[in-house]
Structure 1
Amino acid sequence: MSTPEPTHRSGSVAVVGRPNVGKSTLVNALVGAKVSIVSNRPQTTRHRLLGIATFPEGQVALVDTPGLHKQQKRAMNRVMNRAARGALEGVDAALLVIEAGRWDDEDTLACNVLGDAGVPVILVVNKVDRLKEKAALLPFLAQVSEGRKFAAVHPVSALKRNGLQALAKDLLALLPEAPPMFGEDEITDRSSKFLAGELVREQLMRQLGAELPYSTTVEIERFVEEGELLRIGAVIWVEREGQKAIVIGKAGARLKEIGAKSRISMEKLFGRKVFLETWVRVREGWSDDEAALKAFGYE
């Protein structure tokens, strides 16, 4: 009597939550590679992006989304909210990511959006490592679960990769029996050119002041492979001349630092030598201009 083949599950899962709860860190941790940029600033993620997590038992296509937020002051905010909501179309399940010890109106908004989507939802309570009062975790889990239908609740630390094995197991159980959608070595549906632009933008989010990163975007003008070398030309777009001076810095010091750190990240991701050139240009009001956003690749 032959042993039945083990079941393989495969499907897509939306990763949803308010800004800055660690959605991208969670996606990277589950994928086992950096596919989504991270910083400690809200709304670092601006695009819908697929992270492909492959396990012996199955494959999960994780749809990383911009944080759902109430304020929609600019066209950029509206585009990001549309991308987050659009990510729910055709998914098999969803992860609602929240921060341990905190639930606010934007968490409720994200939860309600998922309720309307009609897919099974796992609540992921992230950043449990930062919780000062560990005894407060269980009452908090009971409080946020009350009156809400979650397929499972998982306290995790995406940054320290704690609790992810149990989460992956429950997640795979929600997916249909199906063959893999992607090759075993594939980690994202995005091009290397797109990822290069994101790595430059990550440094802008990390190195600039509180407001300025939201007035910047990155366009890759050149992406050429020369044997083992990648030649990349990146344009950093800002909205005003004064912002250009800030990004460049005194005697070009800040732009040099942004370029150097971006290049190191690119070499790590692409596994090859990178020659990176960066320029800063002005396009007034691009973040509140639907046509400009489309030209820069925003969905």
Structure 2
Amino acid sequence: MNSQSLNLDNLQTTIPIAPEGFKSGFVAIIGRPNVGKSTLMNHLIGQKVAITSPVAQTTRNRLQGILTTPEAQIIFVDTPGIHKPHHELGKVLVQNAKTAIKSVDLVLFVVDSSTDAGTGDRFILDILTRLNTPVILGLNKVDLQPTNYQFIDDTYSNLIADTNWSTVKFSATTGTGTEQLQKALIDKLESGPYYYPPDLVTDQPERFIMAELIREQILLHTRQEIPHSVAITIEKIEETPKITKVNAAINIERSSQKGILIGKKGSMLKTIGTAARKQIQKLISGNVHLELFVKVEPKWRQSRLRLAEFGYQVEE
């Protein structure tokens, strides 16, 4: 394992008593698809626990990342991008994101500050203003702002004009402004205990992270050909002192996608497998043998039963 324990599978330390003045709480990272929520969480934690890609709607599960400093422990809830759903999977994702907002101590509403505030941002604003949960507006991607950025900033100032929300500008990619963001988050939290051991960075099991790392490589290498109709199931894990063997199924909806994923003489599947294996090896700090195979599951995104089998359930 890495220097920081990744998940509860390897929990060996106990939860200490928090010192006087220690703060803690749950922070939901909310925003439209592809505004950099997962990239931000990975940066703040200092370790990759959420997958990222240029394709919108990458995050599917409510992934909890844990940041512990001498002063505070922040449990980040990285949610799926809030959008207008087009299938059962989309409905589940949006419902789970809304549920996350209701069960946290603070909301970080992340927007893309390289473009004007849009209807999607106003839709999220409407949801958040109906709740009593404190909100910080995070203007991400300041490194991509044009020279006339003040006009863009003004659209977000106007967006939240009727709220008492504070605003922080930053870049999750370069790290600019993230220290100020972290301070602003801690300032908003109440005094509280350690919820997790200080060396833990996520509450998700390794099996889940492995599946996500494989899905990330599919998104990166196939882009529009296999957008979001793919689900990964880890079928088997065998550990020996020298190597960890992982068998995983790539579930897709159409037979035509199978050829794209496999590629000419298996070239695409090999490329995906090689890249995913390297990421999984970083995850477990050991050698990995990864075997991938492709299964066709017609219309799985429309089936509540299949969604549940693949780990996508509506959270209450």
TM range, smaller chain: over 0.9
What is the SS of the residue equivalent to 1:88? helix
Alignment of 1:33-182 (within 5 A): 33-70=47-84, 72-100=85-113, 101-133=115-147, 135-136=149-150, 138-150=153-165, 152-182=166-196
> Which amino acid counterpart does residue 214 of structure 1 have in structure 2?
H
Q: 2: distance between equivalents of 1:63 and 1:222?
A: 28
Contact 2:244 2:288 in 1 (8 A): yes
Q: Which runs of 5+ in 1 are unaligned?
A: none
TM, length-normalised to structure 2 = 0.89
> Which amino acid counterpart does residue 120 of structure 1 have in structure 2?
P
Note the alpha carbon deviations across 1:169-192, whole angstroms, 9 max, x for none: 111111121121111111111000
TM-aligned CA deviation for residue 290 of structure 1: 0.9
Q: 2: distance between equivalents of 1:6 and 1:169?
A: 18
TM-aligned CA deviation for residue 134 of structure 1: 5.4
Q: 2: distance between equivalents of 1:77 and 1:278?
A: 26
What is the SS of the residue equivalent to 1:29? helix
Which residue of structure 1 lines up, in the alignment, with residue 307 of structure 2?
A: 293
TM, length-normalised to structure 1 = 0.94
TM-aligned CA deviation for residue 135 of structure 1: 4.5
> Which amino acid counterpart does residue 254 of structure 2 have in structure 1?
R
Note the alpha carbon deviations across 1:232-279, whole angstroms, 9 max, x for none: 111001111111111000000000000000011111122111111000
Given the alignment of the two structures, is residue 280 of structure 1 paired with residue 282 of structure 2, yes or no?
no
Identity of aligned residues (%): 37
**Residues 102, 208 of structure 1: CA spacing in aligned structure 2 closer, same or farther, 3 A cutoff?**
same
Given the alignment of the two structures, is residue 7 of structure 1 paired with residue 21 of structure 2, yes or no?
yes
Task: Report the number of matched residues.
Answer: 293
TM-aligned CA deviation for residue 228 of structure 1: 4.5
What is the SS of the residue equivalent to 1:97? strand
Q: 1: distance between equivalents of 2:207 and 2:265?
A: 29
What is the SS of the residue equivalent to 2:250? strand
TM-aligned CA deviation for residue 225 of structure 1: 2.0
What is the SS of the residue equivalent to 1:277? strand
TM-aligned CA deviation for residue 161 of structure 1: 1.1
- Aligned match for 1:28, one of 7, 31, 42: 42
